[in-house]
Each structure stands twice: as structure tokens, then as C-alpha cells.
């Protein structure tokens, strides 16, 4: 009898760390795709039009929130409709709704004491949860405004090497649960997933990415088998 794989979703008992573990690697994957398109070009945010422009490339944008460096505070855009207008904060409102449903304080608190890295983490999770294609932090009058973007201009790189490298970078640089992250990233990418006692496999076409884990769930090895060019 074929086992039906459990999809990746937020569950009522999930902590913020678990949610980041589930959705963060995919967000990093998307962010790398965006970087391939815009490079080092500085974006020009037009709040009235709801767009952000990188030289000749204009992308539709949704404001997620903004960071005040002096106060070290993140403010969600859903709490600032009077500043931005309702059309450009729809995605932020969706995050608020998710927070209300699952009791996620990080999504429902209008202002959060945070550092710059915390803001990137909030934006990353938002991008994955809302199926957006990336985010960008735009500096505007002493604020760092984080916007989510979605566009067919952002091409996906679905190579096996990128999958391995993205997961390695994610588990190395973020405080997450690597086993949960590997399984979730694999499934969210639409790849086959096969768990074992001390390792797991991501099946990507004819190739396989194997992640080995300690008893505590830390990564011991990350290997590719098969066609690396796929």
C-alpha cells in the first residue's frame, strides 16, 4: 500500500522556529532567483504605483513591513494602512490572518523589537507562505521598507547543485531544525522525499540529494548522486 506523503503546512502547535524550518529554505531559494535577475542594482520603490524598479526591470510589489534602525523595531504594514493605503499591504494582511489562525505572535504583534536580520527572517517566511517570488529591502527616509515581489520575469533555477547548496547555506546560517527543513524544502519544491533512520533523500529527476543527520538532527553530510546538471 502506497504511503501518502504529508504535505507541508503550519500546524497549531508549531513554534516560530518550526515555521522558519519549514518555509525558510524555499524562501532562500527564491531569493537567489531574484538576485540573478536584479544583481546589485538598487531598487526604486514607488508606493503609489505598487512597484519597485531595478533600472529597466519593474516588478509589482507588496509592502510587508518596515524597520526603524534607531528604535530597532519592525512594524508590520498591516498596521499602517493610513501610511501606505490598503492596496499595497494586502500580502501583509494575509500574514496577519495566518497569525490569527495559528496563534503566531510574530505575525500578529504590530511592532516587534528586532534587529536587521530578524526583519529578513520575517520577510523570508512571508514570501514562502504567500507563494511570492522574493523580497527586497528598500531604504526610504531612514526606514528600511521590506517588499515582496511576484513576477514571471524571475526565472527559477532548479538544479540539483542549487538545491544542495541552498539547503546547506540555510541550515548553517539559521537557528532551525535541519531534519524538518530538509523534508519541507524537498516537498515544497515538488520533489520526492524518502526518510531513513539517520538520513533522508530528496529525489530530483534521476538525481538524489542525501542529507545525513546526527541523533540530535544536525547535518553530518550532504551528497549528490546521479546527474548533477539536472
Q: What is the pLDDT of residue 1?
A: 41
Q: Which helix (H) or strand (E) segment is 134 a member of? A: strand 134-140
* Each residue's pLDDT tens digit, 121-161: 999 999 999 999 999 999 988 899 999 999 999 999 999 99
User: 75 by DSSP, 3-state: which?
Assistant: strand
Q: What is the pLDDT of residue 227?
A: 67
The pairing of beta strand 219-225 with beta strand 199-204: unpaired
Q: What is the pLDDT of residue 215?
A: 87
* Each residue's pLDDT tens digit, 73-94: 999 999 999 999 999 999 999 9
Phi and psi of 131, rounded to 5°? 55, 40
* Positions of the chain with pLDDT under 70: 1-4, 227-230
R_g of the chain, CA atoms, integer Å:
18
Q: Record the pTM.
A: 0.92
Return the percentage of the chain with pLDDT > 70, whole number. Answer: 97
Q: What is the pLDDT of residue 223?
A: 94
Selection from 209, 203, 182 nearest residue 24 by Cα: 182
Amino acid at each position: 500500500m502506497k504511503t501518502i506523503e504529508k504535505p507541508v503546512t503550519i500546524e497549531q502547535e508549531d513554534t516560530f522556529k518550526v515555521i522558519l524550518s519549514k518555509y525558510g529554505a524555499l524562501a532562500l531559494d527564491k531569493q537567489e532567483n531574484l538576485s540573478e535577475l536584479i544583481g546589485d542594482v538598487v531598487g526604486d520603490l514607488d508606493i503609489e504605483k505598487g512597484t519597485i524598479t531595478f533600472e529597466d526591470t519593474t516588478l509589482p510589489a507588496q509592502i510587508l513591513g518596515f524597520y526603524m534602525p534607531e528604535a530597532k523595531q519592525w512594524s508590520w504594514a498591516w498596521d499602517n494602512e493610513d501610511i501606505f493605503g490598503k492596496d499595497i499591504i494586502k500580502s501583509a494582511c494575509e500574514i496577519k490572518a495566518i497569525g490569527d489562525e495559528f496563534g503566531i505572535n510574530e505575525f500578529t504583534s504590530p511592532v516587534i523589537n528586532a534587529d536587521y536580520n530578524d526583519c529578513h527572517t520575517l520577510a523570508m517566511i512571508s514570501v514562502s507562505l504567500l507563494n511570492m517570488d522574493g523580497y527586497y529591502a528598500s531604504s526610504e527616509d531612514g526606514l528600511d521598507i521590506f517588499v515582496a515581489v511576484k513576477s514571471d520575469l524571475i526565472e527559477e533555477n532548479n538544479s540539483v547543485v542549487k538545491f544542495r547548496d541552498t539547503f546547506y547555506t540555510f541550515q548553517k546560517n539559521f537557528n532551525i531544525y535541519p531534519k524538518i527543513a530538509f523534508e519541507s524544502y524537498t516537498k515544497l519544491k515538488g520533489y520526492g522525499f524518502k526518510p531513513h533512520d539517520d538520513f533522508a533523500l530528496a529525489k530530483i529527476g534521476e538525481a538524489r540529494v542525501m542529507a545525513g543527520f546526527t541523533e540530535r538532527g544536525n547535518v553530518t553530510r550532504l551528497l549528490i548522486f546521479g546527474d548533477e546538471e539536472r
